[in-house]
Amino acid sequence: MSERSETLRARAERVAALLPPHVEDVVLTGSAARGMADELSDIELLVVSDELPGELPLDDRQSWTPPVDGAMWYGGTFDGEKVELVWWTPAYVEERVRAIASGEIVDHARLRTAEAIVHGIPLRGERHAQWTARLARYPDDLAARIVDDVTDDWIDWVESQRTNLRAGDALVLAQALVAAAEGILRVVFPLNEEWEPGWKRLAARVEPLAIKPDRVAERIDDAIRALDLQALRLLAAETLALAPQTAKTRLARERLSEPL
Amino acid sequence: MGTTARTEELRALAQRVADALPSDVIEVVLTGSVSRGMADEVSDVEMLVVTAEQLELEQAYDYARRAGLDGLDTWGTQGVPAKRVSGYIEGEPFELIFWPHDFAEAEFDAVVGGKLSSSADALAHGISLRTSGLLAGWQARLRDYPDELAAARIEEAALPWGGFTPAGLLTVVRPGERLSLLEWMFDGALRVLRIVYAMNRVWEPTTKRLAVRVEPLAVKPERLAERIEEALTEPDPRRALAIMTELQLDTVRLAPSGPNVDRARTFLAEGLELLR
């Protein structure tokens, strides 16, 4: 664990201790929880209670309401460190964990909760152990469904590039590069039955995975720097070759391997 | 605005397809670059086909076939009311989107009510190839872009530009973070454009051919399309992010004040200082 992670974790414990008594659970998430914090990292906390946390031990406090019921975001500083605090009701967390564990959730934005919780460190309350236990097993068929979704997108996408990509249309190219890279990663994590994370610190995130294209993180990084969509298409085809083969994956691999 | 020769050729072909569709097709709207007179060598012909009743995909294929298209295929989400059929006629690529009438009306209401979609732009620039009056009615309603909708879109677009420490921007310029950097900048560019289109009360189009799309807008940061391209293609990550951050800042400075816009002005100004 980085020294910085230890510093942030100690601060986080103090923040957790200062939260009002009605706050039932507090979980440290983000890079400090994973032991990867550096000087740019802040403290990220999941705070669970039925009521809004009310008094917060933060200076320069800000907040905004995301467009969902039972969730709120707060930011501020504590002892000179930046703190991001996500407040969820117990019902909101329970429903998210249930839906993920039962394989109902397939999209990246909501699936990321699983990775955050599993790698989180409980600072208050007993529920974290239950959530982690329920997320210990990667749901049956989820990998196949994610691969299927990505494959469908790629099949459509290769076709649409015929009429979408024009020289100098940097925005469309950027969109294609991001979609290709995310698709590759969205296939790689489930193939290893690992919850997909956010894409920061990519090299460290994919490093422990057994099933992946050779040097996948470096190749994604290089291709994006060089704006080389062709390289990402070939890497996508190579990634799909690691998945169980269906008529659809074969079609996608064929199309991805065609020259642009 | 003049139209390209390619446009004329494709419009004639589109009219032939529209004329050959069965009589329960109540509206055919030509959309995309062919309707805007901007068709070039890679353009395809895009059409919205409104039917009296809901079609199954097989029926939509059948309609397309009877209108002379071959090499038929579909794309996108299946099992929804909209059916999409692509195909060719005389070697030219066509994309037909079939909407049942009630779905078309509901979708139109949702888009005018604030649902993010490029359909409003497509219909506003659409050309009628067969009509029972639907397109004229839609275009009349699209001439008024509600002020409340513009204000809400601008605030929503500025939401992520703040809330974390401005130094957090530096996390995406670290070595090995090219994907996160491009994700952030691409999202930033889309939000800049969302704000600019809303300020101009122009329905937001797709991301294609940006330079041509933003050229006629009166209210916009200087060199908008050029700066987006510069940011997205700049090899140095720090410089790339500085270009994008400055563009975001110039955009929120033009935008009407609101909680998120005000917060973004401070956040982006601090972020830009750190990047310079």
Domain extents in chain B: 5-142, 147-275
DSSP structure class, residue B67: T
Does 3.30.460.10 match the CATH number of domain A3-134? yes
What pLDDT is attached to residue A163?
63
Chain A contact present for B229, CB below 8 A: yes
B182 CA to chain A: closest CA distance, Å? 7
Rg, chain B, Cα only: 21
Domain extents in chain A: 3-134, 142-257
The chain A residue lying nearest B181, using CA atoms, is: A200
Asked whether the beta carbons of B216 and B225 are under 8 A apart, the reply is: no
What pLDDT is attached to residue A259?
82
Once rounded to an integer, what is the mean pLDDT over residues A214-220? 98
What pLDDT is attached to residue A133?
97
Residue of B200 and A55 predicted with greater confidence: B200
List Cβ neighbours of B127 (8 Å cut-off, separation of 6 or more).
B11, B29, B30, B35
Chain A contact present for B10, CB below 8 A: no
pLDDT of B6 > 90? The answer is no
pLDDT tens-place string over residues B25-76: 999 999 999 999 988 888 889 999 999 999 999 999 999 999 999 999 998 8
Q: Do A174 and B186 touch (CB under 8 A)?
A: yes
What pLDDT is attached to residue A67?
66
In this structure, how many other beta carbons lie within 10 angstroms of the beta carbon of residue B247? 23
A5 CA to chain B: closest CA distance, Å? 16
Instruction: Give the tokens for residue A78.
Output: 């504590």
pLDDT tens-place string over residues B126-161: 999 999 999 999 999 999 999 999 999 999 999 999
Provide the β-strand partners of residue B45: B94
Q: Do B186 and A171 touch (CB under 8 A)?
A: yes
Q: Do A171 and B177 touch (CB under 8 A)?
A: no
**SS3 (DSSP) at A10:** helix
pLDDT tens-place string over residues B39-53: 888 888 999 999 999
pLDDT tens-place string over residues A58-103: 998 888 777 677 888 888 999 989 999 999 999 999 999 999 999 9
List Cβ neighbours of B128 (8 Å cut-off, separation of 6 or more).
B27, B28, B29, B30, B135, B136
pLDDT tens-place string over residues B195-235: 999 999 999 998 888 999 999 999 999 999 999 999 999 99
CA angle B26, B133, B92 (to 5 degrees): 55
What pLDDT is attached to residue B115?
87
Interface of A with B (CB under 8 A): 40-42, 62, 64, 73, 75, 82, 84, 155-156, 159-160, 162-166, 168-175, 177-178, 181-182, 198-203, 217-218, 220-221, 224-225, 227
**Average pLDDT over all residues of chain B:** 94
Q: How far apart are CA B174 and CA B252, in angstroms?
A: 26
pLDDT of B2 > 70? The answer is no
In the CATH scheme, what is the code of domain B5-142? Answer: 3.30.460.10
A130 CA to chain B: closest CA distance, Å? 30
The chain B residue lying nearest A169, using CA atoms, is: B209
Provide the β-strand partners of residue A72: A87
